[in-house]
Amino acid sequence: MKNSYQTVSTVDELEQLQGTPGRLAANKVIHHLDEHSKTFLRHSPFAVISTSSADGSCDSSPRGDGPGFVHILDAKNLVLPERMGNKRMDSMRNLIENPKIGLLFMIPGLDETLRINGSAQIIKDPSLMQKMEEKGHVPNVGILITVDECYIHCAKALKRSHLWHPEQWPDVSRVSNPAKMMASHAKLDDLDEAKVQEALNESYTQRLY
């Protein structure tokens, strides 16, 4: 559907409006995991992964566990364990069609984030999966990422959002209960808000791993 907004359609126009990167930003990208990056990953309990299907449809999905849940193989490769989920497997379905992946790693209390771009494969090697056992559960598969780019992203977005400052968090009492939202979106006659909440509670307490 067309809209009447004024759009930016060339890189030249974009740079005229937004400017070009300074020397530090233009030169901060490395193409492997150095010791600084490995230390960051060992302290990170949370990441957002971005993928797209063969037709370009995009998806972003959270991944989280204890700090250091990412398994570092070497300077070019790391593995994300695939824990229990809802079995939609949007990210992994995309990776089978298109191996390109982007990751954003976060450490609570630290405003800078670590970005990694590269390519990925779904792997199932039992000996490797065993190394990522948690709470007695061994993942069936993992996402093997080969690093093309690795760099620190500046803190401005997290500083503006006050993400790590509870005293400035918004009041969520006016936000719809997630179970209510899911029931409304799914529109299944046998699943109202109460039943969705019950299912979520069971999943969160019994099937976290």
Q: What does the DSSP assignment read for 2-37?
A: --------SHHHHHHHH----HHHHH--BSS--HHH
* Residue 140 belongs to domain spanning: 25-161
Longest dimension (CA), the chain: 58
Let me know whether 200 and 106 are in one domain: no
What is the mean pLDDT of the segment spanning 145-166?
A: 97
| Residue 1: pLDDT over 70 | no
81 is a domain residue: yes
What is the mean pLDDT of the segment spanning 17-40?
A: 97
Cα R_g (the chain), whole angstroms: 20
| Residue 151: pLDDT over 90 | yes
Q: Look over the chain and give the mean of its residue pLDDT values, rounded to a whole number.
A: 96
| Residue 28: pLDDT over 70 | yes
Q: How many domains does the chain have?
A: 2
74 is a domain residue: yes
What residues contact 109, with CB distance under 8 A and at least 6 apart? Answer: 164
What residues contact 115, with CB distance under 8 A and at least 6 apart? Answer: 102, 103, 104, 105, 149, 150, 151, 152, 153
Predicted pLDDT at 3: 82
Let me know whether 44 and 138 are in one domain: yes
56 is a domain residue: yes
- Convert the pLDDT of each residue in 91-128 to its tens digit: 999 999 999 999 999 999 999 999 999 999 999 999 99
As given in the structure block, the two tokens for residue 184 are 């409304």
Q: What CA–CA distance (Å, rounded) separates 153 from 106? A: 10
